[in-house]
């Protein structure tokens, strides 16, 4: 790789009572500034006016001088400026049709976090001290940072379970392209087996949420019985349910990291299907299992790790009949219900449903590579014969 990769290293830390109070105050101020800036930009948009980051930054200076918002001076100004930059990015993504319109941050539901740039922290001899704090954070260095790495940004967050995390973005010189190889694999995702490879290997779905479903249901029932409001008992019950959710998420992410790293290291080309998760979860019987499998997160990991290590991920159009197509003779069966796991083609070949799909995905992906076409071939409408790919005009900012 010609350039080094920026990576985020995440660690647990345990703040003192003073540090926890300072960070909680910072989270509140960050949320307040974000909401004020979003309201100002929305009102300006309604008046056909334009506000950018520079304008909201000047407004922040004015807000700090008012009696009502004077408390914004008590926390570091760096996270407040960073949240305005995040809002600018959100609007940029909205006008480019990459995201929905920015939403206001909620005290109860939004992520509690604050981002510090180099002017907002000091990192010396493995100790990190944030602005407005006298003592360094007590960080559990579960894995070492790259030798000589200096963080460019630091993000402090607290999850719903009450755990504190610090994320350091550093340049990692150890991430280099792996030696090229000829191996290629088709990957078919599923629920009984999380992945089925074109080699015939099947990787069992751990079903992390299903394993803790009884404990989670009990914790949620106890939470539902607590009186609404900000009482201590309700907060305690909410934290217990959040801890179960956090354990499920941690186990799932750990498994996906190990799995995707192995696939990327063992194969030069990986072919996957471009699934529409939003449409699939409309099936109320399968929605919970689909969310538990985390297919979107799996694909995201494959894509960024392939970019790191010089591999290639090819996505095949979601309307390609990978399951119903015979990988031996190329004929297509009309119907193949989900309960049919093996089927016999007219040519006499007996197929395992998932293995056959993985083989067809691999063949389609390699064909696309050989022809030099795009990774998502345009499909023709059966009614008009024209390309059915939707062309959208990006929104314009007033």
Residue 40 near residue 51, CB atoms below 8 Å: yes
Q: Please state the φ and ψ torsions of residue 168, each to the nearest 5 degrees.
A: -110, 125
**Burial letters 268-283, b for 16+ CB under 10 A, else e:** bbbbbbeeeeeeeeee
Complete DSSP assignment for 277-336: HHHHTTSTTTHHHHHHHTHHHHHHHHHHHHHHTT-EEEEE-TTS-TTTB-TTT--B-S--
Residue 112 near residue 158, CB atoms below 8 Å: yes
In angstroms, the CA 79 to CA 130 distance is 11
Total residue length of the chain: 398
Tell how far CA 359 is from the center of its chain: 28
Instruction: Kindly name the residue from 115, 188, 209, 303 that is annotated as catalytic.
Output: 188
- Three-class DSSP category at 50: coil
CA distances (Å), 202 to each of 149, 197, 256, 265, in order?
Answer: 39, 6, 15, 18
In angstroms, the CA 231 to CA 227 distance is 8
In angstroms, the CA 163 to CA 11 distance is 11
Whether 188 is catalytic: yes
Strand ranges (DSSP E) for 240-335?
A: 269-273, 312-316
In angstroms, the CA 345 to CA 347 distance is 5
Whether 397 is catalytic: no
Instruction: Kindly name the residue from 22, 115, 209, 354 that is annotated as catalytic.
Output: 354
Complete DSSP assignment for 134-172: SS---B--SSPPPTT---SEEEEEE-TTS-EEEEEEEEE
Whether 273 is catalytic: yes
Which residue is associated with the tokens 């996505």? 315
Query: Quick one: DSSP state of residue 76?
Result: -
Alpha helices in 71-157 (DSSP H): 77-95
Instruction: Kindly name the residue from 22, 115, 209, 273 that is annotated as catalytic.
Output: 273
Tell how far CA 101 is from the center of its chain: 18
Residue 83 near residue 116, CB atoms below 8 Å: no
Q: Please state the φ and ψ torsions of residue 163, each to the nearest 5 degrees.
A: -80, 145
Please give the positions annotated as active site: 188, 273, 354
């Amino acid at each position: 790789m010609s350039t080094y990769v920026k990576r985020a290293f995440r660690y647990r830390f345990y703040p003192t009572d003073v540090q926890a109070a300072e960070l909680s105050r910072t989270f509140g101020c960050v949320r307040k500034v974000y909401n004020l800036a979003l309201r100002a930009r929305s009102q300006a948009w309604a008046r056909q006016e334009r506000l950018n980051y520079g304008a909201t930054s000047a407004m922040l200076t004015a807000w700090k001088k008012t009696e009502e918002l004077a408390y914004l001076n008590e926390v570091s100004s760096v996270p407040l400026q960073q949240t305005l930059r995040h809002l600018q990015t959100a609007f940029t993504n909205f006008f480019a049709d990459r995201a929905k319109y920015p939403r206001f941050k909620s005290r109860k539901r939004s992520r509690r976090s604050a981002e510090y740039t180099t002017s907002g922290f000091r990192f010396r001899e493995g100790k990190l001290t944030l602005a407005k704090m006298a003592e360094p954070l007590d960080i559990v260095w579960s894995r070492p940072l790259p030798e000589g790495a200096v963080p460019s940004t630091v993000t402090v967050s607290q999850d719903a379970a009450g755990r504190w995390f610090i994320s350091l973005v550093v340049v990692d010189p150890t991430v280099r392209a792996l030696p090229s190889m000829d191996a290629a694999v088709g990957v078919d995702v599923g629920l009984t087996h999380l992945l089925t490879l074109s080699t015939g290997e099947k990787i069992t779905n751990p079903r992390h949420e299903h394993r803790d479903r009884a404990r989670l249901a009990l914790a949620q029932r106890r939470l539902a019985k607590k009186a609404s409001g900000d009482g201590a008992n309700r907060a305690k019950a909410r934290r217990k349910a959040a801890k179960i959710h956090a354990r499920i998420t941690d186990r799932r992410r750990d498994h996906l990291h190990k799995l995707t790293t192995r696939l990327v290291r063992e194969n030069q080309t990986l072919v996957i299907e471009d699934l529409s998760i939003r449409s699939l979860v409309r099936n109320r019987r399968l929605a919970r299992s689909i969310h538990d499998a985390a297919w979107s997160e799996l694909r995201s990991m494959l894509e960024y790790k392939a970019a790191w290590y010089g591999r290639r991920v090819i996505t095949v159009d979601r309307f390609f009949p990978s399951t119903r197509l015979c990988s031996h003779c190329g004929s297509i069966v009309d119907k193949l219900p989900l309960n049919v796991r093996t089927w016999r083609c007219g040519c006499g070949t007996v197929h395992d449903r998932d293995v056959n799909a993985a083989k067809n995905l691999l063949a389609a992906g390699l064909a696309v590579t050989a022809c030099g076409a795009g990774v998502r071939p345009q499909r023709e409408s059966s009614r008009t014969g024209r390309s059915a790919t939707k062309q959208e005009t990006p929104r314009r900012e007033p």
